[in-house]
């Protein structure tokens, strides 16, 4: 069974905001109680948090769909809905978050580092919060905003100082087992290591981590073997160690050609690996003829500028010198890194000419309005309520949307869409000559709506009948 996963596609859904409540206070001897509808609760976020105790993405491989809870709706008597609970997902240190197109959204390194993968929706305002001097008793409330739906890709890149690279069965697992307390699987057949192994090495006053990366073969950077799956784990390492087998049984291989093949794969993969400091380890010198081959190839490797160490993981030869040499390179790399500065809060005020939205005329003559506020207001509007639609028209007018439509050449009857193409509200635009509470009728009604709701029309018909009956009664003259 798979116990290590370093790449998953995660489908996250934040909680939706709760709807606001439209309610009027009713109490004996208080005929004008006023609106008392509460606000809806906020939807929960989906948050990725680095947890050092987590080493794999296996949980998300088995359960890739995660959803936060929704906010509760508001209620009468000014009772606000409960906020949705955030969903916190622990991820390993070194996790990279990407979108479906491969763009990096976040690089999560360090315990406690967080990233909001999906933002919860806002709760809708109740009619108590919407009341004003002119709109004393709103007959509507705002809807909650749906939470974000997002597909993200999580990739784990091991956070280590030193990476051991080389052919399968070159002795990398044996080497990390004697340099550190790590206990990787060791056998005498290729591809023993199927997952990266991490170990902690102490050399004098320097403590560093070392990673055993699964074996590479020719063509690994193009996807052959296991190399492409695990080359990403080398990217964060500051030092590379070529582990070369001096006791290989394959007649067409030798340490120098193995080095050339691995170097070519690292260069082909890119990510700056060709410029990392590197050492060469000639392993298995305890095997017959291993020492002779090491003595033969060492001068050529040193001519190329490599520092060469002859070791035996089985006989524990040359390990101390190797560990201190690695500590020296790791220390130099750490000293060259810029000092961490405290996080600065950068305030970027909005430009004075930024209206917060744009109006674009498309090829088919449709005018499309894009902006956070207009799109959010549309999602919060209950289009079955005339007064709510009129309130939306007032808000858009105050924001300046109608002025921009006129400047863009819009005329009465032109189509206007608010929102993206896949989720937009489209309507025929009629310039608003009058706006505000003076256009309101009863609660839930707005005289500007040309197509009244059937229920509203029935109420008007019944009222007209009562008015006609009252008029007949007033006009009646007894004999």
SS3 string, 415-427, reads EEEECCCCCCEEE
Tell whether the model's pLDDT for residue 309 goes beyond 70.
Answer: yes
List, for residues 385-426, the tens digit of each pLDDT value: 888 988 998 899 889 998 899 888 888 888 899 988 888 888
Please, which residues have CB within 8 angstroms of residue 187's CB and are 6 or more apart in sequence? none
* pLDDT confidence bin for 448, thresholds 50/70/90: low
Do 248 and 190 meet the contact criterion of CB atoms below 8 Å apart? Answer: no
Mean pLDDT of the region 428-440: 60
Bridging pattern class, strands 46-50 and 87-91 = parallel
* pLDDT confidence bin for 223, thresholds 50/70/90: very low
Looking at residue 354, the DSSP 8-state letter turns out to be -
Tell whether the model's pLDDT for residue 226 goes beyond 80.
Answer: no
Q: Which residue has the higher pLDDT, 231 or 34?
A: 34
For residue 172 the two structure tokens come to 């990398």
List, for residues 462-478, the tens digit of each pLDDT value: 778 888 887 777 776 66
Closest among 47, 225, 37 to 127, alpha carbons compared: 37
Residue 255 has a pLDDT of 85
End-to-end CA distance of the chain: 102
Looking at residue 470, the DSSP 8-state letter turns out to be H
Mean pLDDT of the region 363-380: 90
List, for residues 168-188, the tens digit of each pLDDT value: 777 777 888 888 765 544 444
Closest among 117, 122, 121 to 64, alpha carbons compared: 117
Residue 476 has a pLDDT of 64
- Most confident among 264-278, 345-359, 400-414 (mean pLDDT): 400-414
Q: Which residue has the higher pLDDT, 71 or 34?
A: 71
Mean pLDDT of the region 251-272: 78
* pLDDT confidence bin for 438, thresholds 50/70/90: very low
* Residue 134 phi, psi dihedral angles, 5° rounding: -90, -35
Percentage of the chain with pLDDT > 90? 25
Residue 465 has a pLDDT of 84
* pLDDT confidence bin for 376, thresholds 50/70/90: very high
Mean pLDDT, the chain, as a whole number?
A: 81
Residue 154 has a pLDDT of 92
Residue 186 has a pLDDT of 45
* pLDDT confidence bin for 1, thresholds 50/70/90: very low
Residue 55 has a pLDDT of 78
Tell whether the model's pLDDT for residue 290 goes beyond 70.
Answer: yes
Which DSSP helix (H) or strand (E) runs through 163? strand 162-165
List, for residues 319-343, the tens digit of each pLDDT value: 888 889 989 988 888 888 777 665 5
CA angle 291, 296, 300 (to 5 degrees): 130
Residue 350 has a pLDDT of 74
Residue 183: other Cβ atoms inside 10 A: 11
Tell whether the model's pLDDT for residue 211 goes beyond 70.
Answer: yes
Mean pLDDT of the region 19-48: 90
Mean pLDDT of the region 2-15: 82
Residue 79 has a pLDDT of 94
* pLDDT confidence bin for 288, thresholds 50/70/90: confident
Q: Which residue has the higher pLDDT, 43 or 394?
A: 43
Residue 395: other Cβ atoms inside 10 A: 17
Mean pLDDT of the region 14-41: 90
Mean pLDDT of the region 46-69: 90
- Between CA 402 and CA 430 the distance in angstroms is 9
User: Collapsing DSSP states into helix, strand and coil, what is residue 151?
Assistant: strand
Residue 160 has a pLDDT of 79
For residue 221 the two structure tokens come to 């950077």
Tell whether the model's pLDDT for residue 228 goes beyond 80.
Answer: no
- Between CA 233 and CA 230 the distance in angstroms is 5
pTM above 0.75, yes or no: no
List, for residues 142-169, the tens digit of each pLDDT value: 999 999 999 999 988 777 788 888 877 7
List, for residues 58-107, the tens digit of each pLDDT value: 889 889 999 999 999 999 999 999 999 999 999 988 888 999 888 989 98
């Amino acid at each position: 069974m798979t116990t290590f996963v370093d790449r998953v596609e995660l489908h996250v859904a934040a909680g939706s905001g709760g709807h606001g409540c439209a309610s009027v206070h009713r109490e004996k001897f208080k005929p004008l109680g006023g609106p008392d509808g509460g606000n809806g609760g906020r939807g929960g976020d989906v948050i990725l948090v680095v947890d050092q105790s987590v080493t794999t993405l296996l949980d998300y491989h088995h359960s890739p769909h995660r959803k936060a809870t929704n906010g509760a709706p508001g209620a009468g008597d000014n009772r606000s809905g409960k906020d949705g609970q955030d969903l916190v997902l622990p991820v390993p240190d070194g996790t990279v978050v990407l979108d479906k197109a491969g763009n990096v959204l976040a690089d999560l390194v360090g315990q406690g580092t967080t990233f909001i993968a999906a933002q919860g929706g806002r709760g809708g305002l109740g009619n108590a919060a919407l009341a004003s001097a002119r709109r004393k008793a709103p007959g509507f409330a705002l809807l909650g905003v749906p939470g974000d739906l997002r597909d993200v890709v999580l990739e784990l890149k091991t956070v280590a100082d030193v990476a051991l690279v080389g052919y399968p069965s070159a002795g990398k697992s044996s080497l990390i087992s004697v340099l550190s307390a790590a206990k990787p699987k060791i056998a005498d057949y290729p591809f023993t290591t199927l997952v990266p192994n991490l170990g902690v090495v102490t050399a004098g006053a320097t403590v560093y981590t070392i990673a055993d990366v699964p074996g590479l073969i020719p063509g690994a950077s193009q996807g052959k073997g296991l190399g492409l799956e695990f080359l990403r784990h080398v990217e964060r390492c500051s030092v590379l160690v070529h582990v070369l087998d001096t006791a290989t049984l394959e007649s067409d291989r030798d340490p120098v050609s193995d080095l050339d093949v691995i170097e070519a794969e690292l260069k082909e993969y890119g990510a700056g690996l060709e410029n990392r400091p590197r050492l060469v380890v000639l392993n298995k010198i305890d095997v017959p003829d291993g020492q002779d081959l090491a003595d033969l190839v060492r001068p050529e490797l040193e001519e190329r500028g490599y520092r060469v160490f002859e070791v035996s993981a089985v006989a524990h030869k040359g390990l101390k010198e190797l560990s201190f040499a690695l500590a020296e390179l790791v220390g130099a790399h750490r000293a060259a890194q810029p000092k961490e500065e405290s996080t600065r809060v950068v305030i970027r005020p909005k430009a004075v000419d930024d209206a917060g939205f744009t109006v674009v005329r498309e090829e088919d003559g449709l005018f499309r309005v894009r902006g956070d506020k207009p799109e959010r207001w549309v999602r919060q509007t209950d289009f079955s309520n005339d007064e709510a639609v009129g309130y939306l028209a007032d808000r858009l007018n105050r924001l300046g949307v109608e002025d921009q439509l006129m400047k863009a050449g819009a005329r009465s009857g032109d189509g206007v869409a608010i929102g993206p193409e896949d989720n937009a509200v489209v309507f025929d635009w009629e310039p608003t000559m009058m706006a505000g509470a003076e256009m309101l009728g009863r609660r839930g009604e707005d005289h500007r709506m040309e197509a009244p709701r059937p229920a509203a029309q029935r109420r008007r018909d019944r009222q007209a009948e009562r008015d006609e009956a009252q008029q007949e009664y007033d006009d009646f003259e007894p004999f």
